[in-house]
Structure 1
């Protein structure tokens, strides 16, 4: 009977643990959507597709093949998001991420990403945020986060590029 309770307790703890990890991941994904990171990388992917079309011009790759290749975009974006979650996990607590999401959902947070849109009130809100523990973590980890994001960007983009080249090669289109 003790074994059954032990196993049951293990599964309950494991489930709670996974739920927390999942909630953290979802909140980071929300954060990087709000702050424009994911939009930036979606543009990067589109530019890569355009560049590849130019590189493969002599191969006369049909539009249907390009459309099929572009179906992999969402998987690539999901992979990137998970890589970014890993970087955030090394720098910020779940509470920090929630605080960031609260900021990004506010008027001041939305305006901070628009050129010349910050009001004096927005500036006060942002100054207060950056004086908070979370704000101080953001400021203190900028170099480390930039380095992490640079590595992630390089690994991810080269992986996506190699994957598309491999797909085209499998279909008989080569540089």
Structure 2
């Protein structure tokens, strides 16, 4: 009987931890979409595809093959998001990420990413945010996050590039 209770409690706590982890990941994904991180990396992927098309111009890769190569974009972006979630998890709590999402959803948060769009009121909101516990964490972890993001970017982009080259090679197109 004790074993059944222990097993039940283990399952309940495991599911609760998984659900919390999933909620955390979804909150980070919302955050990195709002702050422009995902749009930046979507542009990186498009630039990589353009570069590959130039590199493979002499081997006449048909459009149908390029469309197939580009189908990997969604999966690559999903993998990137998971890698970024891992970096956030090392620096920020779920509450921190929720606070970031509240900021990014606000007028001041949206204006923060637009050139010359900050009003005096926006600056006050941002100043107050960066004086908060979450804001202090963002500032104090900036170097560490930049380092983590640099490693993620390098690892991810080389993996995506190698995958595209491998698919092209598999289809019979080599440099």
TM-score, length of structure 2 as denominator length:
0.99
Q: Distance in 1 between matches of 2:114 and 2:11?
A: 46
Deviation of residue 2 (structure 1)? 2.0
Q: Distance in 2 between matches of 1:22 and 1:7?
A: 22
* Match of residue 26 from structure 1: 26
* Match of residue 169 from structure 2: 169
Deviation of residue 12 (structure 1)? 0.7
Q: Distance in 2 between matches of 1:69 and 1:173?
A: 12
Aligned length: 175
Q: Distance in 1 between matches of 2:91 and 2:6?
A: 34
Q: Distance in 2 between matches of 1:170 and 1:67?
A: 15
Cα deviation 1:34-91 (Å, max 9, x = unaligned): 0000000000000000000000001100000010111110000000001101110111
* Match of residue 159 from structure 2: 159
Q: Which runs of 4+ in 1 moved over 4 A?
A: none
Q: Distance in 1 between matches of 2:140 and 2:66?
A: 43
Deviation of residue 154 (structure 1)? 0.3
Cα deviation 1:103-126 (Å, max 9, x = unaligned): 000000000000011010000000
Does 2:99 correspond to 1:92? no
Q: Distance in 2 between matches of 1:34 and 1:144?
A: 21
Q: Distance in 1 between matches of 2:9 and 2:84?
A: 32
Q: Distance in 2 between matches of 1:160 and 1:168?
A: 12
Q: Distance in 2 between matches of 1:148 and 1:32?
A: 15
Q: Distance in 2 between matches of 1:78 and 1:61?
A: 26
Deviation of residue 4 (structure 1)? 1.6
SS at match of 1:153: helix
SS at match of 1:135: helix
* Match of residue 116 from structure 1: 116
RMSD: 0.6
Runs (5+) with no aligned partner, structure 2: none
Q: Distance in 2 between matches of 1:134 and 1:46?
A: 33
Runs (5+) with no aligned partner, structure 1: none
Does 2:31 correspond to 1:59? no
